[in-house]
A and B are shown apart, each in its own frame.
Chain A
Amino acid sequence: MKWKHYLKTAAGGLLVHKSRSVLTILGIVIGIAAIIMISSLGEGANQLILREIQAMGSRTLVVTPGKEPRGPSNINSLFLDALKERELKALQDQSKVPSVVDATPMIIVPGSVSYGGETYDPTTMGSSENFAELMDVYPNPGRFFNAEEVRQNESVAIIGSEVKNKLFGPSEGLGAKIKIRGRYFRVIGIFPQTGSSIFFNMDDLIVIPYTTGQRYLLGTDHFFEIIVRAQSEALVPRAVAEIEATLRETQGITDPEKDYFHIHTQIDLADRVGLVGTILTLLLSSIAAISLLVGGIGIMNIMLVSVTERTREIGLRKAIGATEKNIMTQFVLEAILLTGLGGIIGTTLGITASFIIGQLIRRFGGLEWVFSIPIASALVGITLSCLIGLIFGIFPARSAAKKNPIEALRYE
């Protein structure tokens, strides 16, 4: 018997019970959809994170005060003022940290900003003249503040496009005086619109000299973090060692267990994101595995019912010359068609769901989500579903093939 005729016969068998066939493959549909979503969303998230990390630069390190977060204890909060001008100067000293290119301090100033009658709640950060180059964002129109303005505690600010729109509307805003925590700052630059990123939204940002922020707005002398760049990605481990040694020397720490700072590398970050990804993948994979198993058993059950119902048909086919192999192939193929169809529906559903979720992340998360069709997983998914049909279809098909034609013809 030729494949064409097997296929026709098997398809005919399925069409007899359309709604039952559709219900039967639900488990397969869900399982395969889950697999497709794992890979599509996983790939999207991966690309997003990779882009963020690349944007920050893989040679970028972040030094934060306090202990490395370990366990539930928040003892680290005791040392949140551990990074001060002294530590910054040390990290900017080429002789102490030769693998380091620059060290840029960061502070965060909570609170809103106002201009005329308009008030807005942006993210206000204090940093050094290095910031623009570090983040690869340059004001246009206007300029970033320079080292001299940092040294002189000048009240100047560069604002993001969103902040500008909220405060000034369509007018330019350059040179205007905005009020942050009761102090006036002159707007000297506006960042072009960049779209947001996971870590912070440039469009929603105000950057002022950290010195001004510390002295006039916060009244503190410590930093929220210091961003350090190594000479190259390869030199990151050496830079970490140099920073550790330098900071310990500066702070007089001998026991590394008592460090008052922590160094985050992009590799750490990637690892942590990767871990979350792995946990999610495992979770979704087990859902997929369970629904595929349940789906497979469902297929087997419905095929057994079908074989019993069609006892007369089987008997007739044998009476007119069908071999056991013919009958077996017909029923296995029926199961494979069923699960294969489930695989195709599941794949379509998974791709659609991934697309919609991606759109939601774009719209509500404001992230540059890239939707990708996971062709490899789609193929794997459809193949896997066919395989399930084969595995769970063999037993019912065998029982069909082994039927005694007389018993079968006698069956009412």
Chain B
Amino acid sequence: MEKVKIIETRNLQKTYFSSEGLPTPALRDISITISKGEFVSIMGPSGSGKSTLLHILGLLDEPTKGDYFLDGKNIKDYDKEAIASLRNEKIGFIFQFFNLLARTSVFDNVILPLLYSKVPEKDWKHRALEAIEAVNLGHRKDYLPSQLSGGEKQRVAIARALVTDPSIIFADEPTGNLDSRNGHNILEILQNLNEKQGRTIILITHESHAAAHAQRKIILKDGLVEIDEKILNQLRPTDVIIK
């Protein structure tokens, strides 16, 4: 099977500077390649640069040095507006703290990315409902986030990430705030999105159990790639006995 590169970084560096000018190197030298349709987990101790890498790959931040090619094109060649529409069209985010808009219904939260998209308005409702159904929340579409459980909130966030039909989904510790049952449910959804819909998934986690749902695991340490290997026994949803 021929592999199409969707993400490629070359000697990526990111250094934060404190207000006194003190440098904190978060990423030292990252060169990785991720193919279309891959499910990659990124692990590593706290402070190793996982989130920083995800933010750069998700176009929320820019590297201090090095190059990042998304779909074969160098990000440096895009202006701010183009980056914003790439974020909207190609990328879906799932955060640890859900980041749903309070006092806004499930439906309106999910439809939000479409407001900034080129998708014609007549398709919005249908698309949002489809995304909500895909995470099995049809019966909760008019609920407010405050009326949902943590697992349900994270599923709303997944529906929101899916609504623009992105090719890559970035998830930063999506199960970090959930119990194991809900966490498992989220991982199952991610695996489905990868296998049934062919979406590229990049999952940050510090639980090796969660990481094992991916096909490949990258372990960062001090801003460098320590391990990058294929997962031989990818954990299947059916492998887990739900208590």
Q: Which A residues fall within an 8 A CB radius of B?
A: 1-2, 5, 9, 12, 16, 312-313, 315-326, 404-406, 409
Q: Which B residues fall within an 8 A CB radius of A?
A: 55, 58, 60-61, 80-81, 84-85, 87-89, 93, 95, 99, 101, 103-104, 112-113, 115-117, 121, 160, 164
- Verify A322–B84 contact, CB threshold 8 A: yes
- Cross-chain contact of B60 among A2, A319, A326 (Cβ < 8 A): A319
- Verify A312–B99 contact, CB threshold 8 A: yes
Q: Complex: how many Å from CA A16 to CA B144? A: 14
- Verify B103–A319 contact, CB threshold 8 A: no
Chain B residues with Cβ below 8 Å from A5 are 115
Which 10 pairs across A and B sit closest by C-beta, in order of nearness?
Answer: A321-B88, A321-B116, A320-B113, A323-B84, A316-B99, A405-B60, A321-B87, A322-B116, A5-B115, A406-B55
Q: Complex: how many Å from CA A316 to CA B58? A: 13
Number of A-B contacts (CB under 8 A): 61
Chain A residues with Cβ below 8 Å from B116 are 1, 317, 320-323, 326
Chain A residues with Cβ below 8 Å from B61 are 404-406
Would you call the interface of chain A mostly helix, strand, loop, or mixed? helix
What are 18 A-B pairs with beta-carbon distances under 8 A?
Answer: A1-B115, A1-B116, A5-B115, A12-B104, A315-B99, A316-B99, A317-B112, A317-B116, A319-B58, A319-B93, A320-B112, A321-B113, A321-B116, A321-B117, A324-B80, A324-B84, A405-B61, A406-B61
CB distance from A320 to the nearest CB of B (A): 4
Residue of B nearest to A312 (CB): B99
- Verify B121–A323 contact, CB threshold 8 A: no
Q: Complex: how many Å from CA A1 to CA B121? A: 10
Chain A residues with Cβ below 8 Å from B88 are 320-321
- Cross-chain contact of A318 among B84, B104, B121 (Cβ < 8 A): B84
Chain A residues with Cβ below 8 Å from B55 are 406
Q: A315-B99, A319-B87, A320-B116 are in contact. List 19 more A-B contacts (CB 8 A).
A: A312-B99, A316-B101, A317-B116, A318-B84, A319-B58, A320-B87, A320-B112, A320-B160, A321-B84, A321-B88, A321-B89, A321-B117, A322-B116, A323-B85, A323-B116, A324-B84, A326-B84, A406-B60, A409-B95
- Verify A321–B85 contact, CB threshold 8 A: yes
Chain A residues with Cβ below 8 Å from B89 are 321
CB distance from A140 to the nearest CB of B (A): 72
Residue of A nearest to B93 (CB): A319
- Cross-chain contact of A323 among B58, B80, B104, B112 (Cβ < 8 A): B80
Q: Which of A12, A319, A325 has the most CB of B within 10 A?
A: A319
Chain A residues with Cβ below 8 Å from B84 are 318, 321-324, 326
Q: Complex: how many Å from CA A318 to CA B113? A: 10
Q: Complex: how many Å from CA A286 to CA B55? A: 52
Q: Complex: how many Å from CA A323 to CA B59? A: 13
Chain B residues with Cβ below 8 Å from A318 are 60, 84, 87
